[in-house]
Amino acid sequence: MSNCNSCPSKNKCSTKDTGCNIINNPNNKIKNIIGVMSGKGGVGKSTVTSLLAKKLNSMGYTVGILDADITGPSIPRLMGVKDAKAFSNGKGIVPICNPQNIKVMSINLMVASESEPIVWKGPIVSNAVKQFYTDVLWGELDYLLIDMPPGTGDVALTVMQNIPINGIVMVSIPQDLVSMIVSKAVKMANMLNIDVLGVVENMSYIQCPDCDKKIKLFDGDETEKFLSDMNLSLLGELPMTKEIVNITHHGVTEISDELDSTLESIVNKIK
Ligand SMILES: Nc1ncnc2c1ncn2[C@@H]1O[C@H](COP(=O)(O)OP(=O)(O)OP(=O)(O)O)[C@@H](O)[C@H]1O
C-alpha cells in the first residue's frame, strides 16, 4: 500500500504520519498526476483532457492519459487509437501510444468491439480504474492526465482516495445548471483535500466566421459568480468550434494561433 517515497504528493501531504490509502506503482515514474473532472456529463472533459495532453506533448513533456470513464470511454477515439488493443507482456499492461507518442489506457482498448457495453457493478468499475494505475506500464511520464467519469460517485472517490493526484482541472460550461453540479465536484475535491487547479470554461462562445465576433451561447454572469462562490480561478475559455472537433475527432494537427495560445496559457497555469 502506501509508500511516501514514491508518492508525488509526499511534500505536501497532510496524512504523512497517519498513513493513507494511496496505492503505488513502483514500476512507473510519474511526476505529475492531474484529474480532469466536471461532475456534469457531456461538458467536454474528454475533449479538454485530449487537448491538454496534446499541448503538453507539443511542449516536450511525456504524457499519458488514463481513461477512468469505464462506462463511457471516449479517449481512444479522441487520441486516434480506437482500433488498437492493449495487451499484457507478463509484467503489466502495455499502454497504447498514439501517433504523437502519448500513452493511452482505456477499457475500450481491451474489449472486442468499441460498442461493447461495460455492465459492471460499482466496485468492479472502481477496481478496473485502480488497475489502470497499478498494473499499466506507464514508464516515465511528466504528466498523467486522468479523464474522470461524470458525477461524484464511486470512481471519482476511488481516484481521489487511491491515486496520488496533484490536482484537478474542473471543466464547466457557462450555464447555471452546470455550474451548480460542477460545484458539487469542487466541494468533493475540497472534502478530500485535493487541490482544484482552476476551471476551464468550455463552449464559452462561438465565433462568427464572417466578422470574427464572439457570440456568447448563454446569457448572464454564471461563470463569474460560480468562480467567486467557489473561490476558484479561471484557467481559460475554449470556444465551441469545428476546429476543436477536427483536432479531437479527426486527428487534425494544425492548430490556429488563437487556440494554441489559449491552451498554452491553460497549461502554464497547471504545470
Ligand atoms: N469546445 C468544443 N467545441 C466543439 N465541440 C465540442 C467542444 N467540447 C466538446 N465538444 C463536443 O461535445 C461532445 C461531448 O464532449 P466530451 O465527450 O469531451 O464531453 P465529456 O464531458 O467528456 O462527456 P462524458 O460526460 O460523456 O464523459 C463531443 O461530441 C465533443 O466533440
Residue nearest to atom 11 of ligand 1 (CA): 44
pLDDT at 225: 84
| Residue 127 alpha carbon to ligand 1 centre in Å | 26
| 207 touches ligand 1 (CB under 6 Å) | no
As for the ipTM of the complex, it is 0.98
| Residue 178 alpha carbon to ligand 1 centre in Å | 14
The segment with the largest mean pLDDT, out of 146-160, 220-234, 255-269, is 255-269
| 172 touches ligand 1 (CB under 6 Å) | no
Q: What is the mean pLDDT of residues 161-168?
A: 93
Kindly report the pTM of this predicted structure: 0.92
- Beta-strand relationship, 103-105 and 196-201: unpaired
> Is residue 258's pLDDT more than 50?
yes
Q: What is the mean pLDDT of residues 160-187?
A: 90
| 240 touches ligand 1 (CB under 6 Å) | yes
| 202 touches ligand 1 (CB under 6 Å) | yes
Provide CATH code, domain 27-270: 3.40.50.300
In the chain, what are the domain boundaries? 27-270
